[in-house]
């Protein structure tokens, strides 16, 4: 028994919808990883979500336009939703946890030389800062004396 070309085309569209839904949640998981690494304010989370869902709508529309000539079919929207649910149930928590773990380790390794350099330069920079502060205090006193002399000279005229 042979499967018709129309059924195969609809199966391709369903597979594309399923993969689109999974891909959308991969992108959202990247957003979640960034949120765990860098604290966000509530309004910024809302703005990010708004931009994500507007972008998601554009991606789904482009997929519908490319795969199904722009026709909105129930099974296509269902395929996107099932793709999202499948990815969320199977991969999402693992991707977020491992992504956060790996990025924290990378940030730790990258920041170590910077911390060591800062620790080494702390005393010399503190010494230089104290000397610079004394110099600026001296300059300020000299400028005040000069201004006072100029003011007295102007008043005597």
Give the list of residues 6+ apart from residue 122 with CB closer than 8 angstroms, or none: none
The CA distance from 113 to 28, in Å, is 32
Spatial contact of 95 and 34, defined as CB atoms under 8 Å apart:
no
What is the DSSP secondary-structure string of 70-105? T---HHHHHHHHHHHHHHIIIIIHHHHHHHHHHHHH
Whether the per-residue pLDDT at 19 is higher than 90: the answer is yes
- Each residue's pLDDT tens digit, 38-70: 888 999 999 999 999 999 999 988 888 887 777
The CA distance from 131 to 142, in Å, is 17
- Each residue's pLDDT tens digit, 102-112: 999 998 888 88
- Its pTM stands at 0.67
The residue with greater pLDDT, 124 or 46, is 46
Residue 6 — pLDDT band, cuts 50, 70, 90?
A: confident
- Each residue's pLDDT tens digit, 62-105: 888 887 777 778 888 899 999 999 999 999 999 999 999 999 99
Q: Which two tokens stand for residue 26?
A: 């991969």
């Amino acid at each position: 028994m042979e499967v018709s070309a129309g059924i195969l085309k609809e199966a391709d569209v369903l597979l594309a919808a399923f993969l689109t839904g999974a891909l959308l949640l991969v992108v959202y998981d990247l957003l979640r990883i960034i949120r765990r690494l860098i604290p966000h304010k509530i309004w910024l989370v809302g703005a990010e979500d708004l931009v994500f869902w507007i972008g998601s709508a554009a991606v789904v529309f482009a997929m519908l336009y490319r795969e199904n000539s722009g026709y909105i079919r129930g099974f296509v929207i269902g395929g996107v939703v099932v793709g999202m649910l499948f990815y969320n149930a199977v991969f999402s928590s693992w991707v977020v946890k491992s992504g956060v773990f790996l990025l924290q380790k990378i940030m730790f390794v990258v920041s170590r030389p910077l911390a060591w350099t800062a620790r080494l330069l702390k005393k010399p920079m503190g010494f230089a800062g104290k000397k610079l502060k004394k110099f600026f205090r001296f300059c300020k006193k000299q400028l005040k004396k000069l201004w006072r002399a100029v003011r007295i000279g102007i008043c005597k005229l």
